[in-house]
Amino acid sequence: MKKAISLNLKTWVLLSLTMFVGGTFIGCQEEVDQSNRFTFKGEVIATHLENNPEKYSHFVEILNKASIGVKSEGTLFKTLSTYGAYTCFAPTNEAVEKFVQEQYDIYKTSVENNAIAPDKYPIIETGITSPNVSDLSEEKCTEIARNHVIEDEFKTVDFSAGFSLPKTSMSYRTILTNTDIVDSKRVYYVGINNSEIIEPDIATYNGTVHSIAEVINPSTDNAAEILNQSDGISIFREALNRTGLQNLLAKFELEKNYDNTMQAKKFDGQPGQTPLYPETKNQGFTLLIEPNEVLMDPTKNSFGMTIATWQDMAEFAEKVYGSEPGYEEVYDHPKNALFKFLSYHIIDRQLDFVKNGVGGWIMEGYDRNSFNSESNMDQHYDWSDYFETYLPYDEWTYTDEELEALRNGDVDEGCMIKVTRPYTNAEFKNDVVINLCNTTPSDLMSYHTNIRVLSQTKAQALFPETLGNIALDPENAKIHFIDKILVYNENEMIKNIINERMRWDPISCFPELTTNRVRWNFNTGLFTYIPAGGDDSPNERQFCKRLRARNNDTEIFYLRPYPTGEMQYTNFQGDELLIEGKYDAEYRLPHVPAGTYEIRIGFSMSTRRGVVQFYLDGAICGIPTDMRMDEANKNRIGWFSDEELTEDEISDEEKAMRNRGYMKAPASILVGNKTPMRDSSNAMRRIVATNLDLEPTKEGHWLRVKNVTEASVGAEEFNQDYLEIVPKSIYNNPANPEDRF
């Protein structure tokens, strides 16, 4: 059974005075269908487990010792006794006993070997130091239990071979699913270890139980360690080792003594509720890998090379990138071609690109009960996102300290990669594509554009001889296979790949929010406080390296997609960045290649908004922008309705609006699944700067927002729905004017 509350659309700001950030959201409650209320006359998940001790007594003991969360009281067993919709993968007693014994044996053997040769055999800390289930610590019970529970309901009909469920477990790990036919019977498996579901789809009043034959045990290995588990990527792996980039991929904790119990600041938009505080502060990666079979195929590159060894890969990299003189064989140096080649394969956060993936990429629709991007974004258009890799720009010199930082991934200046869900392209309609190119690329780049991202299962099917039956699931990274060789070409990016209006949700500008499950995490509350430091608040940590406060009166929040009773407001990607108070804050814009651009932000008017002054790299940008919602402000902006106007009249009105520094919202984003955002008089695009010559710099370009509301009371809000960086060839092309989408 599903929740009675309708959560089919995540909703936000835009069309009326009842918008969430407009101040009256408190009155917009979820409407409960009383006819569909659950009557608790039977079992909930907890009582089902408890009523079958011959199967689940060990798991019940674990659930009773497992805490819900850092700041929450009670146990996970109590949670599974309450109203809601959960999926519980319940390991049998035999499965728990087997797991505990195996983990204890690993620990015990490592201790014994360490006593003999401590330099050769480190102690392996499994967290289990006794073969008895009753001796499990509360910490280990919490880890085990949260790996087996999802705060949403999934039946086996929702499983797809080789794909993860569209929501993480309570431990924020993806749950892989698989299926097979055994003795003419359909069998289902879950987890990276393919635990068989021996009794599926047990219905209870608050969710579904699947009885499983093995404990789900996600890997605690980092990406550098787990790459050793497949010989089918040996060429790529050996090259990583030669460049030293495996050291980067071994990183995880950004702040070893991170304190997630600190008190978040209040959010005036929701009085009576305390925002969450980010639970973790870790570093994550997405790794794009060419299997050996792709590298060894001479038809896959313009040079006709067979790349069979890491040395061959280095030779190929020299042809594409070229090392700077003197660095041809210094493979662990950022000026070396092989280093450049591999660093462009590493993205600065954990992302799932495949269908039904969890945790990073909105274009697939990430939460079926909350916000559906498939209906929010008109599928007559291709939707792209843009991410930064670890390939540094090489147009300036580096100090020794900067070079060391580059090797460790600490310098924030990566070249861009484009990821597209190409709905309109028949060839790639069901794919996720890297560096989609709709024009004609150069001879070289014709081999290295339009690269498909493959699920691990699909990669196995395409390259069975080299990949075999693999399952690479490191703790600190997402690993995806690709079907072509990935290279970066600056001229190609400018002319063909990103010669377009680039649009970001501002939240996607901050990798930490995706990696640490602040973004896309519906296991918890509606909004999260983002600590951002500040010149006069030295004791507050800065959570995102690209987002910072400039004073102590700045309060920054991440707002999750959330449905209101009216079910009619929609943001670009459902969530938003909101800054409150007598704020003065800034964030680093995404790196784009050198060129002339226009910078815009999308926002929604509201009675809670104030007046904001924009700065770019410290320079003031035009006159202040009034974000308050009143007719006088709309008239100053010059918003108009397209109804009953000719195309020529619409064009004239758009020009007049641009002259005031504004544009209507995009037509491709749909409000209430059907109405273009362009038709909303509360949705605006503000042109922050135009004809702006941007050059990549070590520091990056920073957009600053400052509250300049007259007689400010410190409760005004700055809202940003999306960011646009637009090349001059798009916004100033009389022969081919920019579209309205």
* pLDDT digits 0-9 by tens, 431-486: 889 999 988 888 899 999 999 998 777 788 888 877 776 778 888 898 999 999 99
Residue 521 has pLDDT above 70, yes or no: no
Best CA proximity match to 541, nearest among 128, 310, 258, 335: 258
Specify the range with the lowest mean pLDDT, choosing from 250-264, 361-375, 641-655, 700-714: 361-375
CA distance to 589, 642, 668, per residue, from 664 (Å): 22, 10, 12
Residue 38 has pLDDT above 50, yes or no: no
**One-letter identity of residue 8:** N
Q: Is the pLDDT of residue 608 over 70?
A: yes
> Quick one: tokens of 413?
């200046």
Q: Residue 478 burial by CB count (10 A; 0-12/13-18/19+): exposed, middle or buried?
A: buried
Cα distance between residue 686 and residue 636, in whole Å: 13
Tokens 């009885």 locate to: 211
Predicted local confidence at residue 651, as pLDDT: 94
Give the global pTM: 0.84
Question: To which CATH superfamily is domain 39-82+86-212 assigned?
Answer: FAS1 domain (2.30.180.10)
Residues in the chain: 741
CA distance 708 to 715: 12
pLDDT in the model for residue 563:
55
For the segment 178-189, the average pLDDT, to the nearest whole number, is 89
How far apart CA 450 and CA 455 sit, in angstroms, is 16
- pLDDT value at position 382? 85
What is the SS3 assignment for 251?
A: coil
Tell me the average pLDDT across 74-100: 92
Q: What is the pLDDT of residue 423?
A: 82
State both tokens at 106: 């690993």
State which amino acid sits at residue 572: F
Residue 598 to residue 589: CA distance in whole angstroms: 12
The reply to whether 39-82+86-212 and 503-731 are identical in fold is no
Q: Would you list the domain boundaries of the chain? A: 39-82+86-212, 223-497, 503-731
Fold (topology level) of 503-731: Jelly Rolls (2.60.120)
**And the tokens for 408?**
């460790």
Please list the alpha-helical segments (H only) found in 76-184.
76-79, 93-116, 138-146
Q: What is the pLDDT of residues 619-643, one digit of tens each?
A: 999 999 999 988 888 888 999 999 9
Give the burial string for 19-51 (b: 16+ CB within 10 Å, else e): bbbbbbbeebeeeeeeeeeeeeeebbbbbbbbe
Better-predicted residue by pLDDT, 8 or 602: 602
Mean pLDDT, the chain, rounded, equals 84
H or E segment and range at residue 738 = none
- 386 pLDDT higher than 50: yes
What pLDDT, on the 0 to 100 scale, is given for residue 358? 45
